[in-house]
Each structure stands twice: as structure tokens, then as C-alpha cells.
């Protein structure tokens, strides 16, 4: 036994003795919760009259024979008439978007979420391996547990692909205890035979970790081809039929109720099926600042499941033990039983998911919606701030699309925004003036550009988009999915340049401007994607940006997200990155000008 | 990527492509099972009319759209009117007893057991770390999957304790992929604060493996104190109440139906409880040659569960997915779904667990109870054969217990065999003659001796036992639990010496003799515990030994097992090893002569 680990070993043994002795009723617990009704997520029962004894960060005992365990050094919480449920777990989210981790934790903690399992795509695309390490640092020694999945980084951007984590880097990450699996990998490129993905999958299986899936739109043979590689979950189904198809394949299905999609209502009909629900879970898949400040976090999702008619015990299981089992961390979290971390929330009744007490790692962290202790604020190092490496300011010329000057128009492949997320291809005649293709806001034909901002900074592709609705001005964002691009959409090139230049000046952010005037903005200095301001300020600034967009004619409810997903291979079907347009059905770059 | 792993990587990628292409219906499967009804252990449904496509050792697809996957190179099994269920899993057994692994596999394979998770205590107590490595070698490249748990080796024997695996050895073992956890550790010494056990538990948790429990007789605080250390299963409950108490603690309960105990009938009443059964499993905890040759293996256990009124789907889940989930190996075994190993058995109907086909790793290994391929016979190296290191032959004097010659009797602490397994303490007046305490077969007071055979060879403790029933002769065995002792019981010292000497000559075995004549015997040359003969021969020889014992007056049904458990700390409550008698309630050595 190396000298250096001896101290930890002794501490470990001491904690084990203490736990045993409290369980035996021989020494005093630190915390006792008495007289409550306890939801046993293992059997599905509610058991009344038991006391939960807690020593240090763990539950020592659940029962009636407390012996000498409740003494003068024991804090006692009387839960008469109340219900104890395990701390909530968000099994699939994106905690590296827009806000710093401590701001998310403020809302998680007060609402009763005690474990977050998150993707870290945004930080990884912008900062690479260092981004992940920094996220893990920010997540360390917090009052609640944070795990990540290692980003598989499927992307349409050749630059991002070139700078993606190597197989060795993922292999190293996947072996860390905070890393529970390989992050979501969009199915189509995987079954098309992406060798790097095959190698990442192999490394993950070797490390006995989970392969998080992303099967949106897949069914039948294609779905099964993807699952056959060892994929163990999916959070993408949008109908009861899709959920059942996946449950039959043995994977865990996490129903989404968050920023990008809200599926719980439609899928709630599944509650009447007579099948095993132990692989069914609920998660947010990322939650926007506005939602957090208005609705809350996982407690809102569980409440909604209850309100939609799920048996409250099942609703709780879907946000606790079912998630823990999926990630094979149920040996230490997910239920109220001896040996598990003391992550418990006390609610007034089974149908009201409002935490009167939130206990995490044995510590009361919130009471009646107010934090008792604060999450640790992480100081992000200078090296990951102000990472927008554009070498110079843009001007209108940078967004010009030149064609032969004798042409009066050209047939152009336009990104057609059919929902706020889904796009398709529209072939549209675009007028030429001064040898340039011209946007026409009156017909809702705007320009869109993707600008690489880190590895090949300034590399730009300009195209057209329909369905945004802006009548004037431009909006740009450096908080973009699955690439390291700035995305800008505008009615004219001058405003586009101003929006991008302002982001360059801010060191990352979202900016909306018109007529040479900044209308609203948020600064995202950390990796170009994260604000260091309080959640409420972020929510307010994002609201102001959306309001400004709406005032400029934007018809979409969440322009920030619409911009963000423009390069993602996750959503059908015409996408854009700094190298051009990609048709996801054909899995290849396509020309802007058709003829 | 190191050069040496490159070949494996290419092979791995190729197999992944093949699986995907079969799932897509684009290339031919190796095996297709058509027209069957498939038990979906994930949802609990039976789905009809689907085809299972298998490529290599994995399932590629389960459904109706087989495309071009069934072609001229595809073997097709028509399962019209039949049911497909996952290959059975024995989640807790002792596969290192008496028979070699290939002999067990003959029975496992033909009955439909495709995964065995076994303790390796016997080989470890006799051969140490080398015994485990040799077992793993014997289990490698077999037609079915064999996993082990690393022996925690709780023992009453000071010699065995001194030579137990070190924490570092266990730590190394536990990280191997064939090792799923730390083997059963008897609860009482653990909660008494065994530091080595605490360290083994810590290493196991670090490696994200399971802590197999052994909670016989524990309840309430003591049970919870043990579980609080992170224990994740138990196979010891003998009543419905005990099972429910454990399920509520979140651990997996494996109901036993095997050599030492048969609990299924009593516990079957649990089927009417309205609780979550996904943590309930069935296992053998070791199965005797006689049982294997007469009843069979796990198929017998599942059949019995069905016959006792368990819903057949639940009975199947308890021997497949529930076990796989417990050990966190459900990503690759336990159900019929794409990406899982093709371990499938075809049965005539849901209530008849008789495998018409057994498929393991995609290969048909048995048809209608006949093996199609044979398990690999393992050649045990000379170094682990003939390991009885007794330096000389024993004689009657070695079993003498001398007292002051003027005494006519002494109050002696006698092992009182109250069932074939459980003992208690009886204080009995034993007559003295020639300065020696004398057995008296007419009153069923026999001598019992434990002889260390490896680390301190010849170290002997002699005591008395009641409840065996032998009227004459002696029986000895080197196949003993939780120590490296030979155990011998006899009506007189001369026969005891002969039995032990014969074991010495055989290099390990079980021997029964009377009047200077060997009545029956079996040679166990491998580690002193394993025969290399066919299962049927072993069964026949053990039967002959039992018959001889019965003929000599033995009243116990399985004298081999009664001898074997004499030193175990697992069963209450007076035990014997080479150093003396141990009272398990007091957890200490106690004197033979009370006054």
C-alpha cells in the first residue's frame, strides 16, 4: 500500500466503522429524519413510521430500532405527515450551456435535484479536452453530485472533426469515476460506419461504461443497427410507439421535458401499458435560464409527470432509481436505503413535488425553496475566457456571395426553417445585384453565415435561410451546437458584420443589432458559450434578445436555440457550418448554387 | 494506438460493420430463428412472429424486416409454435467443487444455461491466488460464459487467514473483466470490524464491481449495518419476510435452489406480493453431481419456479435479465435484443423449460438435451495436483485427547449437529480411559478432527461431535469449506487415521473406512477438492460414499456436505478448524474441555 494512500485508507475505514455503529444503534447519528412516510423506490411501496439515520454523507439505517443513535449530537427533522423521496436525478442534460455550473446548482439544489448527469458538448467543441477538464473542476466539491458523459463529438464541421477528442483522450476520460459513459452520438453517421465512433464505442465498452444514444427519427432496421453496437439509452422518442419500440430493445428511455423539446404530455399515455417501466426515465436534455427561473428544474418535470397521471411512485422512480440503475450507479444513489448517499427530499404529499427539505450528502442544503448553503462559485481561468480568435473585424463584404455579374438571378439551395429546429432544403430563385446574391427580408430570405472562431478562425461560409422572419437587422451567437462556429443571420450584411464584431469584442456572446445599433446582447466569455452572471440576469438578457428579435419581425419563439442547432447533425436535414451546407439525408456537402 | 492492439481493433471494427449490415438487412446473417414467440424480458411481453438475426456471436436484429439477411449462407431454425427465451444465468454458485468445469458445462450447456457466475472459494483456500488463475484458465474459451467473484475469504482458521489473498491481490483480480465482484462475505465478522474486509470492500467499490453478500440469519440493525457498507446482494433468505426485508434495502435477492439449500418452495409465496420483482433472482448456490445427473441445472430451477406458480415470464426474468442487471452485465447478456450475445434457448411452451435448442455466442451448442459441441477439457497442471502436504502418515495416537490420568470423565464442549448444517454447543460428560477422552459411538459421540494440509501441514485439532450417527468406522474429506483442512469424523482413532492416510495417498479425496478397510472413496487430485472424472462417475462414487456412511449408521442425508461446512463461519454456531473450536456468536475460540 503506497504511503500516500494510507491516510485515505484510514479515513475510509473510520467512516465505515461509524456507519456500521450508527446502523447498530450504538453511536449517534448526525441527522435523523423521523415520523415520515418513505417512498421505497426499490419495491414501489410507501412505508410509514421509519426513521432514517444518517452518518456523514451516507444513510446508515432505515427503520424503527434506532437504539442510542438519536442523541444530543443528532440533528432531528420531524417529517410527520410528510413524504421522503430520494433526491432527484437528471439523467440527460446539457449543463455547460449559457450559465455557469454554480448558477444551475442554485436552482437544482433548492428544487431537490441532487445528481446531474450531463453532456459537455458546448465546452468541448469550443475548448477541446481542456474544456472538459475545466468543467470537471467546476463540478468538483459541489453540494450535489455531477457526472458527465465523454463527448463523442459527431459533427458536420471538418474543422471540428479534425480537432475532436482523440480516441486516446476519450479512452482516458471514460475511465474517470466522474465519467459515466460516452455522450450521445447521432445515429446516422454511426451506422454509416464512422471508424472513430466504432473505436470510441469499443473503448467505452471496455471501460464498462454506458453508450448514450441519440435515435431521433430512427426506427426498425436502422434503429436496431445502431442499438446493435451496444447503445444503451435514448432520450429522443417523441411518441408512445417510439418509446415502446426502444424499451423492447432493452435500452433505457429518458423522456424529455426541457429546453429543446417537451415530450412528457404526449408520452404520458404510456402509463396505461402493462409493461415493465424500470427502464423508463425522465430528464431535461438541457434547461433554459427562463425555464429555471420560472418553472424550476427536475421537480417541475416530476410534478408534470404526476399531473399527467403517472402513478406518483413511478414518476419518482423515473427521476431517481431508474436513472441510477441505467448508469449502474444505483449501488450508491437513487434510493433511501443503508449505504446510499443521504440524498433525500421531503415533500408535503406524494402529488406535490415541492421540497420542504433538500438533503444532499447528508447535509441540509435547502429548506422551503431557499438555499441553506450556496454552491461553490468556480473561477474560470483566463485561458478559457475570451477565446474568440477572429483575427480582424468583419465588414459587409465578408458576407457577399458573388456570381457572374451578368446573371440576374440564380437557383439557390436555401435552408428552409420548417419548425424552430427542423430544416429542409428549398430551391429558390435569388436575385443578383452588383454581381452578388441578395437577401430579401420582405420575402423572408435572409443571409446566414457560419464563421469558424478558433481552429481556423475567420473561415466563413455564407448562405441563405428562410423562416426566421427578421425584417431588418441581424443576430449572431457564439453559443452554437456541434461546431466551433459563430452563427449569424441577418437581413443585411452590415448588421451581420456588426453583430459578429460585437461578439469578437465581448469575447463571446449573443448579439442582436439593427441600423448600426446594438439592441440587446449577452456576453459569454467562458469558451464563448457561458456567462458568469447570475441566472436571473442571464434569463433577463436572453429575454431581451428574444424580444428584440420579435420586434424585428422574428417569428420563432427561441431564436437563440434556432441559431444554435443550425450546424447539428442531430436534427433533419439541411445544415450549415463554416465549410458549407450539408444534406444529412445524403450525409454530404451540397452546393449552394444549384444552377 | 500500440501496434499490438491494431489487429484486434481492425477485427473489432469489422465485426461491428457486419452486425450493422445484417441489422440493416443488407448482408446475410449466420443464423436466423424464424416464426417463434419471443419472451421480451425487458418489457415482460411475449412477441410473436419476429425473426432473430444473428451474426457472429451477437444478435443483430429482432423483427420482421429481414431484407436480404436470410440467404444461402444463413442457417435457419424454424421455431414455429415454440418460444425463445434468453440463455439462463446462474448468478450465484460454486463451480469449483468436486467436478472439473468441463463436466459442469456438459450439464449447463445441454440444459440451456449460458452464463455462470461463480465463487471460487474451494480452489482459493487450497491453492491461493494460483487456484483462481487456474480456474480462470479452465473457464476461458468455453462455449458458454463464466464469470467469477473474487473470494473475500472470511475464515475461522488462523492459518487460512494468514494465507488469504492480500488486499493487493484482490484489488488486481477485481479489475479483470471476468471478475464481477467480491465474493460472498459472511456478515458477522464484517460488521465486527474486520479491517481487511473493509479494505476489500473499498477496493471493490473503487473498481465499480459488486459486493456479494451473505446475510443468513441477519435482520434489522445487523442486516442494515452490513448492507450499509455497500453490499449489493444476498442469496441466503429462507422466508418471504426475509426476502422482502432485503428487497426494501435495495439489494438483489437470489433465491437458492441447489445443493445446500432449497428455498424456492417456501419463498414462492412472494409471487402474490404487489412489489417490484426486478431485483429478485434464482440461483443454485452450488449444485451436487447427483442433482445435476438427476434433475439438471438452472432449467430445473426455472421449471420449479414455474411449477410453484410464478408467472413464467417472471421465472425466466429471475434467471436471466434480473441477474444480468444485478451484475451490471445487462448491456451484453440477459435478453434477446440487438447487440446482446446470441444466448438463446428454444422451449416448447412457456411452462416447459426444456431446451430443444441451446444457442450460446451465436452457436448451436445443444439440441434436445444432447450436446452438439463439447466443452473444452482443461488440463490442470501438475503443480496444483496432489497438494496434500502432510509430512507423514497419521496413527491413532494423533487423535488422542489426553487429560490427567486420574480423571474418570470431563465436561467437554461437543459440536452438536442439530441439522445437517447447523450446529450448536453441547456440554457433555465424556469418559476418560487410559488418560484419554473416549468417543462413544453407542451414544453417538464421535471424534472429529481438523488437519491443516498445506500451509502448516499436520497441525491438528481434535474434538467431539454428536448427531452424525456413525456406529463404526470413519469418514474424511479434503473438500472442505473456508479452510485448508482435512476434516475427519470417526467412531475410533484407527479408522480416522486410515481415512486420512488414504486421502494423503490419493492426493486429496473423500474416504470412508471401517475395520481397517476402505469402503468407498473418491480421489480429488486437483487442489484436493476436484475430481477429473466424468460427472456420472463422480455422482456414483459420492453415492457410494453416502451409502457406506448410511450403512455405518450415519443419519445424515449428505455427510460430504456436513463435513465440508464444519469450519465455515457462514453457518451457526460452533465450528472447528485446525486451531480449535470457534463459537460464532462470540466470534472467538473456545476451550474443548470446560471443566
Give the ipTM: 0.95
Within 8 A by CB and 6+ apart from B29, the residues are B22, B53, B54, B55, B60, B61, B66, B69, B70, B74
What is the percent of chain A with per-residue pLDDT over 70, rounded to a whole number? 99
Of all residues in chain B, the one with the smallest CA distance to A322 is B278
Q: List the one residue out of A327, A67, A60, A53 whose CA is nearest residue B229.
A: A60
The Cα of B492 is separated from the nearest Cα of chain A by a number of Å equal to: 46
| Cα Dmax for chain B | 94
3-class SS at B524? Answer: coil
Q: How far is Cα A472 from Cα A439, in angstroms, rounded to an integer?
A: 11
Distances (CA, A) of B495 to A535, B285, B502, B522: 85, 33, 10, 17
Distances (CA, A) of B278 to A44, A204, B275: 11, 26, 9
Tell me how many degrees the CA angle B414-B418-B422 measures, rounded to the nearest 5.
95
Residue A289 has what pLDDT? Answer: 97
What is the percent of chain B with per-residue pLDDT over 90, rounded to a whole number? 94
Return the half-sphere exposure (C-beta side, CA atoms, 13 A cut-off) of residue B373.
14
Angle between helix B101-111 and helix B535-551 axes, rounded to 10 deg: 110
Mean pLDDT across A297-301: 98
Residues in B closer than 8 angstroms to A9, CB to CB, are: 199, 202
The order of strands in the sheet holding A210-214 is A88-94, A113-119, A145-150, A179-186, A210-214, A233-234, A252-256, A280-283
Residue A227 has what pLDDT? Answer: 98
Over 80: is that where the pLDDT of A8 sits?
no
Are A250 and B335 within 8 A, CB to CB? yes
Return the half-sphere exposure (C-beta side, CA atoms, 13 A cut-off) of residue A434.
5
The Cα of B61 is separated from the nearest Cα of chain A by a number of Å equal to: 6
Of all residues in chain A, the one with the smallest CA distance to B175 is A207
Instruction: Indicate the residue of B13, B23, B330 with minimum beta-carbon distance to A195.
Output: B13
Residue B3 has what pLDDT? Answer: 44
The Cα of B148 is separated from the nearest Cα of chain A by a number of Å equal to: 16
Over 90: is that where the pLDDT of B595 sits?
no
Residue B2 has what pLDDT? Answer: 44
The Cα of A454 is separated from the nearest Cα of chain B by a number of Å equal to: 27
Report residue B248 CA to chain centroid gap.
26
Q: Count of A–B CB contacts within 8 Å? A: 196
Q: What is the pTM of this model?
A: 0.96
Q: How far is Cα A126 from Cα A517, in angstroms, rounded to an integer?
A: 28
Residue A7 has what pLDDT? Answer: 74
Phi first, then psi, for residue A442 (nearest 5°) are: -65, -25
Q: Given the C-alpha cell 444466448, which residue does it identify?
A: B343
Phi first, then psi, for residue B5 (nearest 5°) are: -90, -5
* Mean of the per-residue pLDDT values of chain A: 96
Residue A6 has what pLDDT? Answer: 66
Mean pLDDT across A447-473: 98
Cell (9 digits) for A546? 428574444
Residue B409 has what pLDDT? Answer: 94
The Cα of B306 is separated from the nearest Cα of chain A by a number of Å equal to: 20
Residues in B closer than 8 angstroms to A330, CB to CB, are: 250
Residue B10 has what pLDDT? Answer: 79
Per-residue pLDDT reduced to its tens digit, B507-540: 999 999 999 999 999 999 999 999 999 999 999 9
Are A44 and B232 within 8 A, CB to CB? no
Mean pLDDT across A377-404: 95
Residues in B closer than 8 angstroms to A16, CB to CB, are: 198, 201-202, 229
Find the range with the poorest average confidence among A259-263, B70-74, B560-564.
A259-263
Per-residue pLDDT reduced to its tens digit, B354-405: 999 999 999 999 999 999 999 999 999 999 999 999 999 999 999 999 998 8
Are B9 and A332 within 8 A, CB to CB? no
Are A250 and B340 within 8 A, CB to CB? yes
Asked if A571 and A216 touch (Cβ cutoff 8 Å), the reply is: yes
3-class SS at A561? Answer: helix
Cell (9 digits) for B413? 464442549
3-class SS at A522? Answer: strand
Write out the DSSP string of A433-484.
Answer: ETTEE--BGGGTEEEEEEEE-SSSTT-EEEEEEES---SS-EEEES--TTSS
Find the range with the poorest average confidence among A376-380, B372-376, B569-573.
B569-573
Write out the DSSP string of A82-134.
Answer: -EEEEPEEEEEEETTSBS-HHHHHHHHHHHTEEEEEEE-HHHHHHHTHHHHHH
3-class SS at B555? Answer: coil
Over 70: is that where the pLDDT of B6 sits?
no
Instruction: Indicate the residue of B20, B193, B227 with minimum beta-carbon distance to A229.
Output: B20
Over 60: is that where the pLDDT of B5 sits?
no
Q: List the one residue out of B318, B300, B326 whose CA is nearest residue B147.
A: B326
The Cα of A276 is separated from the nearest Cα of chain B by a number of Å equal to: 5
Q: Given the C-alpha cell 502448516, which residue does it identify?
A: B456
Q: How far is Cα A297 from Cα A401, in angstroms, rounded to an integer?
A: 44
Residue A3 has what pLDDT? Answer: 44
Return the half-sphere exposure (C-beta side, CA atoms, 13 A cut-off) of residue A413.
19
Instruction: Classify residue B341 by burial, with Cβ atoms within 10 Å: 0-12, 13-18, 19+.
Output: buried
Query: pLDDT-derived band of residue A580, with 50, 70 and 90 as boundaries?
Result: very high
Phi first, then psi, for residue A72 (nearest 5°) are: -65, -25
* Mean of the per-residue pLDDT values of chain B: 96
Asked if B286 and B261 touch (Cβ cutoff 8 Å), the reply is: no
Residues in A closer than 8 angstroms to B52, CB to CB, are: none
Asked if B204 and B172 touch (Cβ cutoff 8 Å), the reply is: no
The order of strands in the sheet holding B588-590 is B574-577, B580-583, B588-590
Which position has the higher pLDDT, A9 or A447?
Answer: A447
Q: Which of B5, B10, B13, B20 to mutate to test the interface with A (most CBs of A within 10 A)?
A: B20
Residue A222 gets the label, from left (phi > 0), alpha (psi -120 to 50) or beta, of alpha
Mean pLDDT across A474-492: 97
Cell (9 digits) for B397? 495416537
Phi first, then psi, for residue B395 (nearest 5°) are: -130, 180
Per-residue pLDDT reduced to its tens digit, B97-137: 999 999 999 999 999 999 999 999 999 999 999 999 999 99
Q: How far is Cα B354 from Cα B346, in angstroms, rounded to an integer?
A: 8
Residue A47 has what pLDDT? Answer: 97
Over 90: is that where the pLDDT of A460 sits?
yes
Residue A370 has what pLDDT? Answer: 98
3-class SS at B400? Answer: coil
Q: How far is Cα B525 from Cα B533, in angstroms, rounded to an integer?
A: 10
Residues in B closer than 8 angstroms to A198, CB to CB, are: 12-13, 16-17
Q: How far is Cα A410 from Cα A102, in angstroms, rounded to an integer?
A: 50
Instruction: Indicate the residue of B24, B43, B340 with minimum beta-carbon distance to A225.
Output: B24
Per-residue pLDDT reduced to its tens digit, B173-194: 999 999 999 999 999 989 999 9
Residue A2 has what pLDDT? Answer: 44
Residue B25 has what pLDDT? Answer: 98
Per-residue pLDDT reduced to its tens digit, A420-459: 999 999 999 999 998 999 999 999 999 999 999 999 999 9
Are A225 and B43 within 8 A, CB to CB? no
Residue B436 has what pLDDT? Answer: 95
Query: pLDDT-derived band of residue A5, with 50, 70 and 90 as boundaries?
Result: low
Are A42 and B338 within 8 A, CB to CB? no
For residues A154-180, one letter each, b for 16 or more C-beta atoms within 10 angstroms of the residue's C-beta and e for the rest, the string is: bbbbbbbeebbbebeebbbbbebeebb
Q: List the one residue out of A494, A480, A484, A507 whose CA is nearest residue A563.
A: A480
Amino acid at each position: 500500500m503506497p504511503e500516500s494512500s494510507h491516510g485515505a485508507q484510514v479515513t475510509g475505514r473510520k467512516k465505515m466503522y461509524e456507519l456500521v455503529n450508527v446502523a447498530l444503534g450504538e453511536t449517534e447519528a448526525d441527522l435523523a429524519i423521523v415520523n415520515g412516510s418513505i417512498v421505497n423506490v426499490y419495491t414501489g411501496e410507501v412505508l410509514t413510521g421509519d426513521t432514517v439515520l444518517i452518518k456523514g454523507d451516507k444513510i446508515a439505517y432505515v427503520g424503527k430500532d434506532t437504539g442510542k443513535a438519536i442523541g444530543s449530537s443528532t440533528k432531528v427533522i420531524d417529517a410527520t405527515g410528510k413524504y421522503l423521496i430520494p433526491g432527484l436525478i437528471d439523467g440527460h442534460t446539457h449543463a455547460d450551456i449559457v450559465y455557469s455550473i454554480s448558477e444551475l446548482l442554485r436552482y437544482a439544489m433548492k428544487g431537490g435535484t441532487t445528481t446531474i448527469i450531463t453532456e459537455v458538448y458546448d465546452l468541448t467543441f469550443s475548448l477541446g479536452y481542456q474544456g472538459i477538464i475545466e468543467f470537471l473542476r467546476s463540478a468538483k466539491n459541489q453540494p450535489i453530485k455531477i457526472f458527465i458523459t465523454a463527448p463523442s463529438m459527431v459533427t458536420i464541421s471538418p474543422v471540428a472533426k479534425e480537432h475532436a477528442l482523440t480516441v486516446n483522450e476519450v479512452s482516458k476520460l471514460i475511465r474517470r469515476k466522474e465519467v459515466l459513459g460516452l455522450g450521445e452520438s447521432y445515429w446516422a453517421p454511426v451506422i454509416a460506419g464512422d471508424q472513430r465512433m466504432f473505436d470510441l464505442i469499443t473503448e467505452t465498452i471496455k471501460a464498462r461504461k454506458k453508450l448514450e444514444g441519440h435515435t431521433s427519427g430512427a426506427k426498425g432496421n436502422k434503429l436496431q443497427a445502431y442499438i446493435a453496437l451496444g447503445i444503451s439509452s435514448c432520450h429522443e422518442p417523441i411518441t408512445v410507439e417510439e418509446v415502446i419500440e426502444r424499451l423492447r430493445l432493452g435500452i433505457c428511455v429518458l423522456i424529455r421535458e426541457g429546453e429543446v423539446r417537451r415530450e412528457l404530455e404526449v408520452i404520458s399515455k404510456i402509463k396505461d401499458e402493462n409493461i415493465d417501466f424500470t427502464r423508463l426515465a425522465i430528464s431535461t436534455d438541457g434547461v433554459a435560464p427562463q425555464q429555471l427561473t420560472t418553472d424550476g428544474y427536475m421537480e417541475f418535470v416530476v410534478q408534470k409527470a404526476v399531473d399527467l397521471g403517472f402513478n406518483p411512485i413511478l414518476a419518482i422512480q423515473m427521476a431517481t432509481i431508474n436513472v441510477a440503475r441505467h448508469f449502474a450507479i444505483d449501488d450508491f444513489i437513487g434510493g433511501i436505503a443503508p449505504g446510499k448517499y443521504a440524498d433525500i427530499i421531503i415533500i408535503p404529499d406524494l402529488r406535490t413535488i415541492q421540497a420542504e427539505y433538500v438533503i444532499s450528502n447528508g447535509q441540509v442544503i435547502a429548506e422551503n425553496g431557499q438555499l441553506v448553503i450556496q454552491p461553490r462559485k468556480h473561477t474560470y481561468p483566463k485561458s478559457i475566457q475570451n477565446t474568440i480568435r477572429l483575427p480582424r473585424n468583419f465588414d459587409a463584404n465578408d458576407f457577399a456571395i458573388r456570381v457572374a455579374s451578368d446573371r440576374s438571378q440564380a437557383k439557390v439551395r436555401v435552408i428552409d426553417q420548417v419548425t424552430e429546429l427542423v430544416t429542409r432544403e428549398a430551391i429558390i430563385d435569388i436575385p443578383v445585384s452588383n454581381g452578388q446574391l441578395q437577401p430579401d427580408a420582405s420575402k423572408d430570405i435572409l443571409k446566414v453565415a457560419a464563421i469558424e472562431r478558433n481552429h481556423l478562425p475567420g473561415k466563413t461560409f455564407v448562405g441563405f435561410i428562410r423562416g426566421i422572419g427578421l425584417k431588418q437587422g441581424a443576430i449572431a451567437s457564439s453559443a452554437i451546437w456541434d461546431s466551433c462556429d459563430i452563427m449569424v443571420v441577418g437581413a443585411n450584411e452590415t448588421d451581420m458584420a456588426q453583430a459578429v464584431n460585437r461578439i469578437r469584442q465581448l469575447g463571446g456572446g449573443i448579439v442582436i443589432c439593427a441600423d448600426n445599433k446594438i439592441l440587446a446582447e449577452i456576453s459569454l466569455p467562458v469558451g464563448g458559450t457561458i456567462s458568469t452572471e447570475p441566472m436571473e440576469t442571464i434569463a433577463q438578457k436572453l429575454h431581451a434578445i428574444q424580444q428584440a428579435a420579435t420586434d424585428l419581425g422574428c417569428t420563432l419563439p427561441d431564436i437563440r436555440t434556432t441559431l444554435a442547432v443550425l450546424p447539428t447533425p442531430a436534427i433533419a436535414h439541411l445544415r450549415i457550418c463554416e465549410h458549407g451546407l450539408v444534406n444529412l439525408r445524403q450525409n454530404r456537402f451540397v452546393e449552394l448554387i444549384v444552377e
